[in-house]
Amino acid sequence: MSRPLLIAALGNPGAQYRYHRHSAGFMVAEELCRRHGWGRWARRFSGLLLQAELCGRDVVMVMPQTYMNLSGDSIGPTARHFRVPVSRIIALHDEVEIPFGDVRLKQGGGLGGHNGLRSMERVLGSRDFWRVRVGVGRPADTRTDLADWVLSPFTEPAAEVEAMIATAASLVEDWVEEEG
């Protein structure tokens, strides 16, 4: 395998968090697996690891099985093992600063208080990795605690959530094609 691209899906492990806003990154990873027939996960580096080909490029996908604030403890060792530079890493994550349904690609910049991204920066020593930012928006009631909001299930119609996740997966495919 040539030097791969690293897809780092952020979320919280466990069935109880599967459809929560904070696990949007895991949902995008699962959509990519569904589209491409991937399913051979290995347990390594405190995460679930998959090696595959996407758009003719070698990719490694990791879903840390730590909690969000320790995601870097899985992603960092994975990146080092496969010798993936920060510029060839893309994080898939929820983003409260983007309205629900919007999906955006970004490289570097601020972390917006996202503890998974902070953990990645701490371990990688840089914030210059790419990101697919999956918009989960903010709660309508400004008194709602933001941590409670992201740690709760989507309340929007399932078809809208699925469309957003599909758009995010397509954005990852486009990035792999361009960056590979």
* CATH number of the domain to which 112 belongs: 3.40.50.1470
**Cα(114)–Cα(94) distance, integer angstroms:** 9
Number of domains the chain is built from: 1
CB 50 within 8 A of CB 33: yes
pLDDT of residue 101: 97
Told to judge if 22 belongs to the known catalytic residues of this protein, a careful annotator would answer yes
CA distance 64 to 44: 9
Mean pLDDT by 10 residues, the chain (180 residues): 90 94 98 96 97 96 96 98 98 97 96 94 98 96 93 96 99 92
CA 118 to chain centre: 13
Query: What is the predicted pLDDT for the residue at 152?
Result: 96
Residue 41 pLDDT: 95
Range of the domain at 52: 5-179
Amino acid at 103: V
Place of tokens 């990645």: 120
- Active-site hit among 22, 81, 93, 114: 22
Pairing of strands 89-95, 130-135: parallel
Give the pLDDT confidence score for residue 1 in this predicted structure. 52
The Cα 97–Cα 81 span in angstroms is 33
Q: What is the pLDDT of residue 3?
A: 87
Contact (Cβ atoms closer than 8 angstroms) between residue 85 and residue 124: no
- Asked if 24 and 92 count as a contact pair (C-beta separation under 8 A), the reply is yes
Nearest CA-CA partner of 11 in 157, 160, 135, 117: 117
Instruction: Give residue 73's pLDDT.
Output: 98
Dihedral sign (CA 30, 170, 179, 88): negative
